[in-house]
Amino acid sequence: MADLHLRGVCKAFGTVRVIERVDFDITDGEFVVFVGSSGCGKSTLLRLIAGLEDITSGELFIAGRRVNDVPPAQRGVAMVFQSYALYPHMTVFDNMAFGLKLAKRDRREIERRVHRAATLLQIEHLLERLPKELSGGQRQRVAIGRAIVRQPGVFLFDEPLSNLDAALRVQTRIEIAKLHRELGASMIYVTHDQVEAMTLADRIVLLNAGEAVLQDGSIAQVGPPLALYHHPVNLFVAGFIGSPKMNFLPGRLTRIEPTSVTITLPDGSTARALVDASAAQPGDVVTLGIRPEHVMLDASADNTVRAEVVHVEHLGESSLLHAQMRGIENHVVVRQEGDTAATMGDRLTLGLAARHCHLFDQNGHAFKRQTAPVAETGPVPPKE
């Protein structure tokens, strides 16, 4: 088990700056998930921690030791790759034992550790098989098993489930959560999958991409999943966390009170949001944000707007209505539980409850919301 500290960590490939000024601590036993768009540097950050890439500047500490110049095998970390990276000519047992054999461990100890990991992962009956005789899910378990036998203080997972089908992904996700509880080790996990991030993470690290990396550093926001969901610090985080993504409506501030503001939208309608905008001025350009699951077909809501349905998606457990407001180019997406009677051409009154509205200034920074964070019940599934 180990804690981990990154201090001003930067990585450049030649002149291309990929990771900028990452300051971040992971406490012993914590489960941290890195998310961000493709190419933003998630794998690079993981490889820097593993020691597979050199840190260009900054410092990395694992379990109290500065490890910038420590080779990968001596850092007390084990990495599980998306591609599994098993040796094709070795049995499952030999794949799992390989690292320990290299380290010249006692034969009985190797057997004991491999069998213990195999029991934990329920692959004992597969130990004599070759990787090509396994399913994708079984191979992934072997790759995880190989990491477990090394008894690392920190597990690094790079999209370990992305080659599995949907059902197996859910099952393996739950197993990884269990494994984390049983082993008590720190885990850093990279994924594209929102549900994996929300359900596995003690804390999520959302990475910036493009220009924002050079301007603000690589980290957009760090926090517990529901803190990012309820209190995104800017438009990028608000749009990234949550699926379907948050609706953004352009507007202007027309009234500012101590704990709320009134925004006028392009169609002339007004909406209140419960935010602290004491630093703003009437007339300022803002963006109102509201998640699809918080838009209600409710004419009695404290904010209402009119919109015409232009597209309906029936997903079974829910329906997505795409509605057009006058003067606003983007559609407003409304998520309804179950089926919907609404069809194309319907004119609806949409309720945008003030307590669910987010507000961003013209630079995309969020105004502080006055609503309680995690106590709200959202559509986010509970942990596990």
Ligand X SMILES: Nc1ncnc2c1ncn2[C@@H]1O[C@H](COP(=O)(O)OP(=O)(O)OP(=O)(O)O)[C@@H](O)[C@H]1O
282 binds, among ligand X, Mg ion, none (CB under 5 to 8 A by kind): none
d(CA 119, CA 110): 14
For ligand X, the closer of residues 41 and 223 by Cβ is: 41
Residue found by looking up tokens 């509201």 in the block: 290
For the bound state, the minimum distance from the C-beta of residue 363 to ligand X, rounded and expressed in Å, comes to 25
Residue 372's contacts (CB-CB under 8 Å, 6 or more residues apart) are: none
Q: Identify the three-state secondary structure at position 380.
A: coil
For ligand X, the closer of residues 13 and 87 by Cβ is: 13
For Mg ion, the closer of residues 43 and 172 by Cβ is: 43
Which range binds ligand X by CB under 6 A, 21-29, 36-44, 100-108, 359-367? 36-44
Site membership for ligand X, residue 39 (CB under 6 A): yes
CB 117 within 8 Å of CB 78: no
Site membership for ligand X, residue 218 (CB under 6 A): no
Give how many residues touch ligand X by CB under 6 A: 11
Binding to Mg ion in span 152-211, by CB under 5 A: none
Q: How large is the angle between the packed helices 166-183 and 107-121, nearest 10 degrees?
A: 130
Q: What secondary structure letter does DSSP report for 300?
A: T
41 binds, among ligand X, Mg ion, none (CB under 5 to 8 A by kind): ligand X
For Mg ion, the closer of residues 193 and 302 by Cβ is: 193
Binding to ligand X in span 43-82, by CB under 6 A: 43-44
Write the binding mask 24 to 63 for Mg ion: x where contact by CB under 5 A, - elsewhere.
Answer: -------------------x--------------------
Which range binds ligand X by CB under 6 A, 37-45, 164-172, 293-301, 355-363? 37-45
Q: How large is the angle between the packed helices 92-102 and 107-121, nearest 10 degrees?
A: 130
Site membership for ligand X, residue 15 (CB under 6 A): no
Which residue, 378, 364, 330, 333, is CA-closest to 238?
A: 364
Q: Identify the three-state secondary structure at position 288.
A: strand
For the bound state, the minimum distance from the C-beta of residue 82 to Mg ion, rounded and expressed in Å, comes to 8
d(CA 169, CA 161): 6
Which range binds ligand X by CB under 6 A, 34-42, 133-141, 283-291, 359-367? 34-42
Q: What angle do CA 186, 187, 192 make, to 5 degrees?
A: 160
User: Around Cβ 204, how many Cβ atoms within 10 Å?
Assistant: 27
d(CA 7, CA 151): 25
For ligand X, the closer of residues 228 and 307 by Cβ is: 228
CB 191 within 8 Å of CB 22: no
319 binds, among Mg ion, ligand X, none (CB under 5 to 8 A by kind): none
Site membership for ligand X, residue 38 (CB under 6 A): yes
For the bound state, the minimum distance from the C-beta of residue 214 to ligand X, rounded and expressed in Å, comes to 13
Q: Which of 4, 6, 18, 309 binds ligand X (CB under 6 A)?
A: 18
156 binds, among Mg ion, ligand X, none (CB under 5 to 8 A by kind): none
d(CA 239, CA 179): 31
Residue 173's contacts (CB-CB under 8 Å, 6 or more residues apart) are: 161, 195, 196, 199, 200
Site membership for ligand X, residue 358 (CB under 6 A): no
For the bound state, the minimum distance from the C-beta of residue 225 to ligand X, rounded and expressed in Å, comes to 19
Q: What secondary structure letter does DSSP report for 151?
A: -
Bridge pairing between strands 347-352 and 332-337: unpaired
Binding site residues, Mg ion, CB under 5 A: 43
The footprint of ligand X (CB under 6 A) covers 13, 16, 18, 36, 38-44
